[in-house]
Amino acid sequence: MGAIHPCIDDSLRAWIAKQHMFFVATAPLAAEGLLNCSPKGLDSLRVLDDHTLAYLDLTGSGIETIAHLKENGRIVIMLCAFEGPPNILRLYGKGEVVHPGHAEFETLVALFPAYQGVRSVIRVAVERIADSCGYAVPLMTHQSDREGLLKWAEKKGPEGVEQYQRAKNTVSLDGLPGADWLK
């Protein structure tokens, strides 16, 4: 059924590259804080090496993932096979927010398509790699990526996106610091 993997080997890399979406989950330290689980799509996930991956963080209505990572670093990324043989892969680790102005931002963002509205790159030092059966995950066919977020960012333009980020992304729902590099 399930297995623990020592690293993100070539087989896992190839499988990850075929998936059209993934989920990111984080939590604050406070027991009463809100847990966060976010679906991600587009061409926004990269395996950097056997124990490191990164994803492109596009502007959104909340800043929970970034706030939680800044507070405690805990993150899990989950991918599910919606096509082909069943599988669920969870990558547990410590996440780091690499934002514009960070020494490595330009190097990391260059690994992805030049999307409008990039807020940061999330880099994850993977500590545990586990898969499970996925027998109950439905089979679904990928039709296409949604372009709404990209069109929204393009319409707003760089200045409009930054204004939105300043208004909506500096503090989490629980009051934790978010994109404080915008201040």
Q: Residue 123 sits in a domain of what CATH number?
A: 2.30.110.10
Beta-carbon-side half-sphere exposure of residue 86 (alpha carbons within 13 Å): 10
- The domain in which residue 83 lies consists of 3-137+145-176
pLDDT for the residue numbered 1: 64
Q: What is the pLDDT of residues 114-131, one digit of tens each?
A: 999 999 999 999 999 999
Q: What is the pLDDT of residues 48-62, one digit of tens each?
A: 999 999 999 999 999
pLDDT for the residue numbered 176: 96
Non-local CB neighbours of 140 within 8 Å, separated by 6+ positions: 82, 83
* Contact criterion met (CB below 8 Å) for 20 and 41: yes
Q: Is residue 41 part of a domain?
A: yes
Confidence check: pLDDT of 65 > 70? yes
Tokens 């514009």, residue located: 100
Q: Is residue 182 part of a domain?
A: no
User: What is the total count of domains within the chain?
Assistant: 1
H-helix or E-strand spanning residue 98: strand 88-98
* Contact criterion met (CB below 8 Å) for 178 and 66: yes
Global pTM?
0.96
Q: Is residue 16 part of a domain?
A: yes
Q: Is residue 181 part of a domain?
A: no
Q: Is residue 123 part of a domain?
A: yes
The span from the CA of 101 to the CA of 180, in Å, is 12
Q: Is residue 11 part of a domain?
A: yes
* Contact criterion met (CB below 8 Å) for 93 and 75: yes
